[in-house]
Each structure stands twice: as C-alpha cells, then as structure tokens.
Amino acid sequence: MPNANDLSYRCGGTIISRRYVVTAAHCVVNLPENFKVGGVRLGEHNILTDPDCEQGYCAESVQDFLPESVIVHESYNKPEYKNDIAIIRLNKPVIYNDDPKPSMILQTVKLPIVEMDGCVIAFKRYAEVSEDQQMCVGGVPGHDSCGGDSGGPLMQVNSLNGPPKYYFVGIVSFGAKSCGASKTPAVYSRVAAYTTWILNTIHPPGDQCTVDSQVGTCIKARDCTLVSNILQQSREQAINYLRRNHCGFEGSNPLVCCVNSESISTPPSVVTNPTLNPNRNSESSSSPIENFQVDLTNNPLLSNDCGRDLSQRIIGGEIAELDEFPWMALVEYQKPNGRTTACGGVLISKRYVLTAAHCVKGKDLPTTWRLSSVRLGEYNTDTERDCVADSETTEICADDPITVGVEEQIAHENYRPTSRDQRYDIALLRLSRDVQFTSYVQPICLPSSSSLGGRLIVAGWGKTETSSASNIKLKLALPLAEKSQCDQTYSSAGVRLGLGQICAGGQKGKDSCRGDSGGPLMSLERIPNGTGKWTAVGVVSFGPSPCGMQGWPGVYTKVSDFVPWILNNMRR
C-alpha cells in the first residue's frame, strides 16, 4: 500500500487463480488517509532482501502486480467485521513456478480450532461472531496471527494417507489487540461460506469464459444448447460436462461455460469405466440440473494444481515402489490435437497386453480417439526420467519407459458396449514388436486355477481424492467381496453380474477409479520354494460413481474364466 511516496506491506492474501487474490475487506477499504491498494507481491520470502537466499540457494525473483480492480463483499460490515472478504483482480496473469522457497523468514504457526461458544463469549463486548460466516482459531499464548497477517490465509493440511495438501479455509480478520498474549482466539472469515460469492465475482453471469481453448459464455445450465444436446446422447457425459465447466451461480441456479454447439465436434470427455449411481431409478425422473453438485477441484476458473505439496494419491491408496509391478501398462490414444492416456493394462508376454474391452470399444470412447500404443516401464508420467531418493545424498533411477505401437486390438466377441452388466469386459492388445524384459518391464502370470486367495492389490494411475489423475503409479490393497452380496448390491441398481465377474473393495475411500480401467487386480501366490509370484486375477471393469462408496465394491473381469480365450487369441 503506498503511503505518500513510500511502499508499505500491511496485509496478506491468497492466490486462488492466475488472475485473482483473496484478502480481507478491511485491508482494502476505510484505509488511513493517503493509503490505497497499490500493488500485490507474490513469491516473497524476506521483504528485506533481494534475492532471497539460504544455504547457498537463491529463490526466483518476486512477481509484482498492480490491482486492476478491487471487489469488496457488498455486505461487509466494518464494526463487526462481518463478510470481511475481498477479491483483487491482478493486471496480468501470474506465472506459476515450482521453486522451493527457503523456510526461515516467512512465519507459520500451528493453531487449534476453538469451539464457537467460547469464541462468542470472548468477543461479546466487541462484535457478534457468526458461526456460519466466521471461525475461531488459536487462543494459545504466544501463538497467533497478528498485525500484518490480516487478509492472509488460514490453511488446513490434509495428510491422510500421505504427504500434505493445503486447503484454504479461513481469512485472517480480527483478534485481541495484544496478539498471542492471552488465551483469546482470533476470528477468521470462513471461506466455505463465500465459495459461491467468489465464483460469481470472478466469473459473473454472461461473462466470457473458455472451454478447451474455445470461447463460451457463463450462462444458466438449462439455457445451454450444448448441454441439452449432450444430454440427449448421454446423461453421464452431460453431468461430467457440467461438473468440469461450472462457472458460478445465479441465485440457486448453477452456471456453466457454454460454447456454441456447432463449434465443437465432440464434447470434452475422458474414457471412463462404466459408472453407476445407487439411486439411478429415482434419479432418472428428475433433471440432472437439480442434482448438480459443485466440484471445485475441476472448476475451469481455478487451478487444478492449487495447494500441491507432493504427489497425489489414488482413492485411499499409496505410492508404489519404483520397480514394483513392472508389468503395468498405460494405454495411449491418439487425439486430433495430441496423445493421451486413459486406461491401464497389464503385460502378459513379450507381445501382448491384457486390458478391458471397454478401453477398446467402449461407448464412452470419443469417435475422434484412436488406440495407438502402450507405454511400459512408466512410474511418474510427469518426469522424463523416474528417480527416487535412496538416501539423503543418492537416488535410484529407472530405465526410460518405452512406447510400443499396437498392431491389433482383440475385444471379446461377446462384449456389448451398451450393456449395463459389462460382461466379457476383456481384451488383448497385440504389440507391433516384441518387448525386451528388464528390471522395469516384466510380464505378470496368468492364473492357473480359479482360486483367488485373500490379499488382492490393484494398481494404476487413475483418479484420486482430488478428482484428478495421479502422475505416479499407485497401489491399493483390497479385500475380496462376497459375490452373492455384491450381486445383490448391484441388482438394486439394475445390474446383473455374471459368472465371469468378481468384486473387490467396498470400503469407503478405497477403490480403483477412472483411469484405472483395464488395469490388473493382482494376487501374490506363494510357491513351494518359499517365494511368490504375482498373478493377474482380475481386470478393472466398473464400479460406483463416485468411486470409493461404502458398501459398493468395484467389479472386475475374472481372468481365470477367460484363460482359454486369451490363449486361443494369442499368436507368435
């Protein structure tokens, strides 16, 4: 904030996209005389040094921006700090980088959440604290936000099953005058209460927006011709489109970024394993718009890379070792504008990969996609060379992954893409050449009997808790589900499972998901010499939507029932 000819940093803020920063309303209005919001600085660590260096390492230069506009919540009430939230639109897009910053000057502190009853009592003489819009945190002597922290973020760390991911849950608003000197907590604006306001502010109704680089308009979903056209073809694709391209609300009506239906040949889609909804019968009688739910992790207005600390995770899973499951394959598709991966598979010989039939001829495969190749020996799809730390000073690196063309696709002749039962969901991919086995490229065994054993493992690069595909190969242990109970569960959704299908999982938050389709369900079989061998006992076929629902196991094609078919369709 400029004060006469000086520049003074008095408040914090949080980047929520390349163009917008969220802060507190009291940071931008009712300022002292001669003060105004004059700029925003990003990437800062120590405001007294330039550049910021520590232990021989220097961070990238800071990025300075001018405020193009400042939007204060229309119901902001200074005396009580109600609706203490504002948005600053920057004059140019932010350039993201992954530069790790030093860790000594920028201050952080861990704070406990305080029950609202105690918070209301603490501030009853000064302000009326609202549980719906505000939250209280702290109250530990010597640990508190303070002057200069106003507008900055209160973050929640989600470390469930792995490295932390940070979520923006509060905005520093006000507290006791003597910061951290008493047991009085500080008050924060509750971000969840303002999600709709934020979306409407950064993309109001009728505003321009983009979908896959095509310009659209942010309008009511029910007024979008493209959504109506997609709905006539596929209810599931329409709902997926709404979730991906949601851009705000007008009252209680969801808005969608709508492009001219004539300008897009194929609606944005990904290859998914067939999905179910346990309430499908009742749902079919109501509009998908009425059942539409906001999924901010896929909102085109926000970065899908927000809050990233380390790798993402499969639904309830964990990261596999660098050389673990060397038979895992990624199935690649050629699109008009490039190549993508959308299914998994498993190497069973030097020339063949086993996958799901719906990955070869599924009803959700875009007509412009062509299955072209298979990638083997992959671990991290984001890196050219895959390495993991062996110690503090050394690392182990895998061989480079290989991409092999597919010369023949053989889906089971009895597979029906439009069938809800998805029986015979199995296929072979014949590679264009023999692959050479290495420590990172190996075949898995086919089952020699119908016995499944107890401990089952599924692996892949599929959808995670954050609704995005994982870049790192993940694994997850699943229990075998009782087939009769699984049959009954899916029967309630109008699906009749057959003999060639098995069920695994059914625990909340633990499941294979979109992107894992065609990948293997594996079992480790012990052999007489005491060692073990991995066997492909299942192929990921389909499951509930959303993935990882309690009581709804995933459905897998039972490989042992198809070993004769596999062998009959393989050739040298």
All residues at 6 or more sequence positions from 6 whose CB lies less than 8 Å from its CB, including other chains: none
**DSSP assignment, residue 546?**
S
Q: Which residue has 């680089």 as its token pair?
A: 213
Classify strands 352-355 and 395-397 as parallel, antiparallel or unpaired.
Answer: unpaired
Report the 10 Å Cβ neighbour count for 28: 22
User: Which of helix, strand or coil describes residue 188?
Assistant: strand
- Which pair of structure tokens corresponds to residue 43? 């990437």
How far is 98 from 308, CA to CA, in rounded Å? Answer: 10
Q: Which token pair is 88?
A: 């600053």
Query: 456 near 480, Cβ under 8 Å?
Result: yes
Q: Taking phi first (over 0 means left), then psi (-120 to 50 degrees means alpha), and beta for anything else, what does residue 467 get?
A: left
Instruction: Indicate the length of the chain as a whole number.
Output: 572
Q: Which residues are annotated as catalytic? A: 358, 425, 517
CA 181 from chain centre, in angstroms, equals 40
Which of 502, 245, 212 minimizes the C-alpha distance to 366?
212
Cα atoms found within 13 Å of the Cα of residue 115, Cβ hemisphere only: 3
Strands (E), 251-381: 253-258, 275-276, 318-319, 328-335, 338-347, 352-355, 370-376
Which residue carries 């061989």 as its tokens? 399
